[in-house]
Amino acid sequence: MRKNLKRALLPIALVLPLLLLVVIPAALFAHEEGAEHSHSSSEAERQVVNPRSDYWRHVREGVEGYTAVRGQEVNVFIQAAGQNWRQLRNGPVAAYGAGLLGIVLVALGGFFLYRGKVELKHPRTGESVTRWTLGERVLHWVTATLFLLLMITGLSLLYGRVALIPLIGHEAFAAYAEWAKAVHNYLGPGFILGLLLMLGLWARANIPNRIDWEWFKAAGGMVGDAHPSAERMNAGEKAWFWLLAGGGILVCASGLLLDFPNFGQERWLLQGSHLVHVVFALVLIAGALGHIYIGTIGTEGALEGMITGRVDKSWAIQHHDLWYEEIARRGAETNAAASPDQSYRDEFAVKRGS
């Protein structure tokens, strides 16, 4: 029995050392020689055969030939700036942005409880004047609707991980996020067009002057009983206009870079554009909250002007007296009067309480 076992194991005992000493070293040598040959071949035919540590070192260094893809930034497999961007977006930008919006909402709520709606000091006259044309109103509401949709989808994508996933779960949020991203990307260019049209249409009426400083000093009549003089656009509306002009252009330009990333933009540009897009979008949303408050529950008669296009004379005299004086003078001249009718001036003085 033992002799038979020894006879069976003898070939293995002879072959195993041969494998260890001859065959395996020969195979390793052949493999190394093939790797050396591959490394010296052309880039298109090059095969990666380095040990794992060398492979990842070459990847980090961007050595040519470590990717089969051809194009822009193809040899950048690991980019540290991407991690920096993610930490900025999910850290300070998201946190400070949420704080800003929270402060604005609390301030507006507290101010409404303290002041309430700014009502008309004099009864309505029953006579109205045109404040916004049909074209202006359509442009305003279309652009405002696009802004609200972009705001809702943008905020939900920015804060969805911490605000929506705990409420609706990962699967539901994934389905919603796909829809929200598509809505945000496709509606963005429409908002850009509306914004540019509004800026061109109302730029002349929003040029600042000395009257605006007096308006700010009196807090626009929102605090106390004083109602400072204002032209067609008061200083608050002008401030909102130029915030839209500055921040809006930055949001739109960065949004276009993100919406169409196939025009040679490198990753650092897209990451920077995204941060600019988010930061100034949050600033615009904060400003829009104040604009919406004043134009709806904050001021009597303001919303009906943007809905119907007309405002009562009492409202016009109280909030935009210089504008009302101008249109009244033009109206008197249009009616072929030799000089502006003094009756409107008397009415103006009575309404203003002077």
User: Is position 67 within any domain?
Assistant: no
User: pLDDT digit string (tens) for 277-327?
Assistant: 999 999 999 999 999 999 999 999 999 999 999 999 999 999 999 999 998
User: Is position 324 within any domain?
Assistant: yes
Mean pLDDT value of segment 207-227: 86
Segments forming the whole domain that contains residue 108? 80-352
Is the Cβ–Cβ distance between 311 and 128 less than 8 Å?
yes
Q: What percent of the chain has pLDDT over 70?
A: 71
Mean pLDDT value of segment 184-207: 96
Is the Cβ–Cβ distance between 150 and 188 less than 8 Å?
yes
Angstrom CA distances, 345 to 63, 264, 322, 327, 332, stand at 81, 62, 11, 12, 11
Reply yes or no on whether the pLDDT at 352 is more than 60: no
Which DSSP letter does residue 298 get? S
Are 283 and 252 contained in the same domain? yes
Mean pLDDT value of segment 198-225: 90
> Which residues, in sequence order, are CB contacts of 168 under 8 Å at separation 6+?
176
Burial of 284 (0-12, 13-18, 19+ CB in 10 A): buried
Is the Cβ–Cβ distance between 235 and 210 less than 8 Å?
no
Angstrom CA distances, 143 to 51, 73, 157, 243, stand at 58, 37, 21, 15
3-class SS of residue 24: helix
Are 258 and 347 contained in the same domain? yes
Are 143 and 40 contained in the same domain? no
> Which residues, in sequence order, are CB contacts of 219 under 8 Å at separation 6+?
none
Are 6 and 133 contained in the same domain? no
Token pair in block for residue 121? 């000091």
Task: Provide the pLDDT for residue 255.
Answer: 95
User: pLDDT digit string (tens) for 145-170?
Assistant: 999 999 999 999 999 988 899 999 99
Token pair in block for residue 88? 């900025």
Are 200 and 334 contained in the same domain? yes
Token pair in block for residue 115? 């002041």
User: pLDDT digit string (tens) for 37-69?
Assistant: 444 444 444 444 445 666 666 666 656 555 655
Angstrom CA distances, 102 to 93, 148, 282, 285, 287, stand at 14, 17, 11, 11, 12
Q: Mean pLDDT across the chain, nearest whole number?
A: 81
CATH classification of the domain holding 162: 1.20.950.20
Q: Given 18, 34, 61, which residue is the final one in a domain?
A: 61
Reply yes or no on whether the pLDDT at 70 is more than 90: no
